[in-house]
Structure 1
Amino acid sequence: MKRKDAAMPIGELAKKLNGKLLGDPAVIAGGICALNEPQESFICFARTRAGLENVSFDSLRKTAAVLVDSLDAAAVHPGLNYIVVPDPQSALLSLVEVFYIPIPKIEGINPKSDIHPSVKLGSGVCIGAFTSIGENCLIEDDVVIFPHVTIYPGVTIGRGSIIHAAVVIREDCQIGAASIIHSGSIIGADGFGYLSRDAMAAQKIPHLGTARLGDRVEIGANSCIDRATFGTTSIGDDTKIDNLVQIGHNCRLGKQVLLCGQVGLAGSSSVGDRAVLGGKVGVGNHVVIGSDIRVAAISGVSRDIREPGDYGGYPAVPVSQWRRQITSLRRLPAILKQLKIRTNGEED
């Protein structure tokens, strides 16, 4: 996003955010900055009050105000202004609208793009230079496609979606409305499927299916969603996928799923609605993860998990059990030492 040439008194901002101002309402703010990188006359964002504990308050004096969720009198530092709101993250979204504008859209259809005559373009479509769109594609209203995108034949892209530079969408894939695909991602590449026979080289299995993204899906940079062997690899509405995520052939993700960076789903696995997988979680092939399940980072899911709750470890187990395992593991050297003393009758 690009910062607007805009400024507003923090008293007005506090009213806009339905927050409580502790400080001088006439101070002018012109943007938003990170807590550990304070900038002159900007509003500093602290997700929680605890986030202020390790910050140099002298460095914050040049900011316009600090946005926090709660504050008591003892925590107020002289010379600082505070805007207290119930939910700083939601308030931050409102501040973004005040001070920033979205990345500038490309305008119209660049003459250096390569669009097959059979392609159906809706109204308000914008297409950047050196983008290639194959035959029989449907690009609905208000879609923005940045430069150097490759779209194979038979693809549908829903209304208002944004496809960033260097994305590849393979043949017959479907992208829902208001979705965002970030640079370097590939939708619908062949899955990792091979037939192995003794004394013979692995033979590639054709992947004749497709991949389908629902509405309001966001795919981070350099992520891959493989097409199905047969049928469809599907991503449900409102699902958000981080950078560097691998989703294998025939996987099925429900609605409002969150996948953090470097998650890997093996072929034909499924993830239920509102599930959250932390960074580097690995999921085995054909494994089912139910709805409303959260899996801690760097866990391995090798068998089905259907009961809602929090899980962690390898193999992933309920988080309370995982913590007991970790505690026991830390005690293991001392236990083994005691066992050796009792067995041998002497200390090493």
Structure 2
Amino acid sequence: MDFKATDIAAFLDGEIVGNGNVRVSNVSKIEEGKPGTLAFLANNKYENYIYTTKASAVLVNKSFIPREEIEATLIKVDDAYEAFASLLDLYVQSKADSKKGIEQPSYISDKAKTGENIYVGAFAYVGKNAKVGDNVKIYPQAYIGDNVTIGDDCIIYAGVKIYDDCVIGNRCILHSGAVIGSDGFGFAPQKDGSYKKIHQIGNTVLEDDVEIGANTTIDCGTMGSTLIHKGVKLDNLVQVAHNVEIGEHTVSAAQTGISGSVKVGKNCMFGGQVGIAGHITVGNNVLVGAQSGVNSSAKDDQKLLGSPAIDIRKALRAYGLIKDLPEIRKDVIHLKKEMNSGKNNK
């Protein structure tokens, strides 16, 4: 990335205030801006930094009116936050475009099919009958098992493991350490107290535009598929068990655990460390607060909090009572003493 301010303004349909010839080669926070970087101001709480930042250029909303002189070049746009996100897309793409070709040592089965303009990093493995689409980037030490299908424009970061028979859609991003298609947790108790493994013979399917965080694991189906529908975003360290189905554009924060055979609807949002019990259904547009435990099915549009999770309004009232319990206890003890004192005086 190395652009003049005028080039950035043209790309964003913005207006220049200041030196349009200034060049930027990186991005920075406005409070940590350095010469040669581009920052942005979208939240008025950070306005004071724009008067002292060393960033060479700053994206601001067209409505922004400075109170003091600003050294940096301003690029005025309709929405500074959205414009900055678009530039980050361009920045990341320019870095990714530098990754091309097949590094050695790596292994690609002679029975695998690979598309055009792919990158395979050193020590990566692509198994028999795998299909890799166009513009896919497979970083070092990734494992792509037999019969795996990967769509176009995917990024498979270092150390990702995709088990046999799994399907990855177009434009998916799998971050380092993610495991797709590992065995579900299935064991049959035996009379002698031991457990016999139930073999997991299904697969995992990720539809288009899914992003999976670092060290997140998605188990294969015992039979059939674990289904992650299009647009789903899972944070780091999320566990999705066998035969789960997650609806379109649902998002989940870190350390969430979804038990086996759960059906999750569209456009749900789960906070960090949410736990969902097995074999239940979560409807569409359900919001679940952090550290909640969902142990029964949830209807569309519910907002849940707590463990066990209940309606968020009831949960907040209950937490308010819990906070006051020490004082309530003192009051009860005091009332009991008064009552006993009254009885003794009769």
Q: The TM-score by the shorter chain falls in which range?
A: 0.7 to 0.9
Sequence identity percentage: 32
Residue of structure 1 equivalent to 2:344: none
Q: Which runs of 5+ in 2 are unaligned?
A: 340-346
Relative distance call for 1:24 and 1:110 in structure 2 (3 A) is closer
Which of 80, 91, 97 is matched with 1:88 structurally? 80
Which of 53, 65, 78 is matched with 2:68 structurally? 78
Relative distance call for 1:323 and 1:45 in structure 2 (3 A) is farther
Which of 212, 215, 231 is matched with 1:222 structurally? 215
Secondary structure of residue in 2 paired with 1:329? helix
Instruction: Answer with 79-88 or 171-180: which moved more.
Output: 79-88
Q: Does 1:102 align with 2:99?
A: no
Residue of structure 1 equivalent to 2:279: 286
How far, CA to CA, are the matches of 1:72 and 1:124 in structure 2? Answer: 43
Which of 239, 258, 262 is matched with 2:255 structurally? 262
How far, CA to CA, are the matches of 1:99 and 1:215 in structure 2? Answer: 22
**Number of equivalent positions:** 335
Q: CA deviation digits over 1:69-107, x for unaligned, max 9? A: 58676xx44133665655333111233366662335432
Secondary structure of residue in 1 paired with 2:193? coil
Deviation at 1:67, TM superposition (A): 4.0
Residue of structure 2 equivalent to 1:182: 175
Deviation at 1:171, TM superposition (A): 1.0
| 8 Å Cα contact 1:61-1:79 kept in structure 2 | no
Relative distance call for 1:280 and 1:83 in structure 2 (3 A) is farther
Relative distance call for 1:118 and 1:41 in structure 2 (3 A) is closer
How far, CA to CA, are the matches of 1:276 and 1:232 in structure 2? Answer: 22
Residue of structure 2 equivalent to 1:8: 5
Residue of structure 2 equivalent to 1:40: 35
Q: CA deviation digits over 1:226-284, x for unaligned, max 9? A: 01111110100111111111111111011111111111111111211111111111111
Q: Which runs of 5+ in 1 are unaligned?
A: none
Deviation at 1:213, TM superposition (A): 0.5
| 8 Å Cα contact 1:210-1:228 kept in structure 2 | yes
Deviation at 1:320, TM superposition (A): 1.8
| 8 Å Cα contact 1:57-1:77 kept in structure 2 | no
Which of 127, 132, 135 is matched with 2:125 structurally? 132
Relative distance call for 1:324 and 1:47 in structure 2 (3 A) is farther
Which of 211, 216, 227 is matched with 1:234 structurally? 227
How far, CA to CA, are the matches of 1:252 and 1:309 in structure 2? Answer: 19
Secondary structure of residue in 2 paired with 1:311? strand
Q: CA deviation digits over 1:44-86, x for unaligned, max 9? A: 334422x427x6666x34234554558676xx44133665655
Q: CA deviation digits over 1:263-308, x for unaligned, max 9? A: 1111111211111111111111112211112212222211111131
Relative distance call for 1:65 and 1:144 in structure 2 (3 A) is closer
How far, CA to CA, are the matches of 1:72 and 1:164 in structure 2? Answer: 39
| 8 Å Cα contact 2:31-2:53 kept in structure 1 | no
Relative distance call for 1:208 and 1:98 in structure 2 (3 A) is closer
How far, CA to CA, are the matches of 1:110 and 1:98 in structure 2? Answer: 25
Deviation at 1:8, TM superposition (A): 1.3
Secondary structure of residue in 1 paired with 2:204? strand
